[in-house]
């Protein structure tokens, strides 16, 4: 089922994102998380295609990650959105080979991204931006293509207005929906959504969420990705830092309230970044009661 068709029907989508295992011994934990979350009936799932998880940037390593998508679809009977990034798929031949594999695996949905650039790999890329990749994917098959959005703007964007312009460019090139980067302040999402609407963007923008349940997670988001953590969330994480279960409970309460507010404000769905852990995502998912809010109308 194409994600764009689900969204166009007025159905809210609930989805999960996983990371490919770095080592063979990580596979059982990933499969366990997938099996536990599968029972919640997600509309789709995805496996990140990231340079951090690939030993080399070639078709063999790309196909290993996509093979996991095939496992999710055929072993777990899940709808899967494949990730394709211009930072890894650097030429048209590799894209053609990749799309051929995507078709063989029976995947209909693709998330087209630029991805993080490695300063040590400065050779020319066939697709400089996601807006270049989107039409190439569309011309390579009958795919539903999604793109990324950044409520706090992309770190490289000079302004929110410019970032919204870039999003419109990707959608005008053939993108049918957008999924946001993680954020912890709903006001950032609402500002971005309003700016997108003012710019003439009508495509659904799905919020990306992740329960914060440790100080280490908070620090990684702030220092590694420049994502803002509201003072109330940061203070709560610090308050309960010495009590693992209280800290976990606080993180769940915050993420649940965040999800409920987004849904009440008309968000077209929720996309959970699981980091291959199921407990926190499962609990937030249970609390927001997606079975009762599947439809927008």
**Biggest CA pair distance of the chain:** 54
What is the token pair recorded at 252?
A: 């769940």
Please tell me the pTM assigned to this model. Answer: 0.92
If you write DSSP's letter for every residue of the chain in order, what string do you get? --HHHHHHTTB-EEEEEE---SSGGGHHHHHHHHHHHHTT--SEEEE---GGG-SSSSHHHHHHHHHHHHHHHHTS---EEEEEETTT--SHHHHHHHHHHHHHTT--EEEEE--PPPTT--S--S-SSHHHHHHHHHHTSS-EEEEEE-TT--TT-S-HHHHHHHHHHHHHTT--EEEEEE-S-HHHHHHHHHHHHHTT--S-EEEEE----SHHHHHHHHHHH-----HHHHHHHHHTTT-HHHHHHHHHHHHHHHHHHHHHTT-SEEEEE-TT--HHHHHHHHHH-GGGS-B--
Active-site residue (options: 17, 79, 108, 176)? 17
- Could you give the domains of the chain? 3-289 (3.20.20.220)
142-201 residue pLDDT tens: 999 999 999 999 988 999 999 999 999 999 999 999 999 999 999 999 999 999 999 999
| pLDDT of amino acid 12 | 93
End-to-end CA distance of the chain: 20
Reported as a pLDDT band with limits 50, 70 and 90, residue 222 is low
Mean pLDDT value of segment 228-239 = 92
Reported as a pLDDT band with limits 50, 70 and 90, residue 118 is low
Cβ–Cβ contacts within 10 Å for residue 278, how many? 22
Residues whose CB falls within 8 Å of the CB of residue 280, separated by 6 or more in sequence, listed in order: 211, 213, 248, 251, 252, 255
At residue 54, does pLDDT exceed 60?
A: no
Q: Between the ranges 65-74, 77-86, 170-179, where is the mean pLDDT highest?
A: 170-179
Mean pLDDT value of segment 264-285 = 92
| pLDDT of amino acid 56 | 53
Task: Note if 156 is an active site residue.
Answer: no
| pLDDT of amino acid 220 | 76
């Amino acid at each position: 089922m194409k994600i764009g068709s689900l969204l166009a029907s007025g159905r809210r989508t609930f989805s999960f994102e996983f990371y490919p295992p770095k080592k063979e011994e990580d596979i059982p934990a990933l499969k366990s998380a997938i099996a536990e979350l599968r029972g919640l009936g997600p509309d789709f799932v995805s496996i990140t295609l990231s340079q951090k998880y690939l030993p080399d940037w070639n078709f063999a390593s790309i196909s290993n990650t996509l093979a996991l998508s095939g496992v999710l679809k055929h072993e777990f009977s899940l709808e899967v959105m494949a990730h394709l990034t211009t930072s890894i798929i650097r030429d048209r031949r590799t894209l053609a080979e990749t799309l051929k594999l995507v078709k063989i695996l029976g995947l209909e949905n693709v998330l087209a991204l630029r991805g993080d650039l490695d300063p040590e790999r400065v050779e020319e890329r066939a697709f400089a931006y996601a807006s270049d990749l989107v039409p190439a994917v569309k011309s390579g098959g009958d795919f539903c293509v999604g793109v990324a959005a950044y409520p706090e703007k992309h770190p490289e964007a000079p302004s929110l207005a410019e970032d919204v312009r870039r999003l419109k460019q990707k959608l005008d090139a053939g993108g049918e929906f957008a999924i946001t980067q993680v954020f912890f302040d709903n006001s950032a999402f609402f500002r971005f959504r309003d700016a997108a609407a003012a710019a003439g963007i009508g495509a659904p923008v799905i919020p990306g969420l992740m329960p914060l349940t440790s100080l280490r997670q908070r620090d990684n988001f702030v220092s590694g990705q420049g994502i803002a953590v509201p003072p109330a969330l940061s203070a709560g994480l610090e308050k309960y830092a010495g009590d693992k279960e209280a800290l976990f409970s606080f993180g769940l309460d915050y993420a649940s309230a965040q999800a409920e507010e987004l849904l009440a404000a008309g968000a077209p769905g929720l996309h959970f970044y699981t980091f291959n852990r199921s407990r926190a995502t499962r609990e937030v998912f249970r609390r927001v009661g997606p079975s009762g809010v599947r439809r927008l109308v």
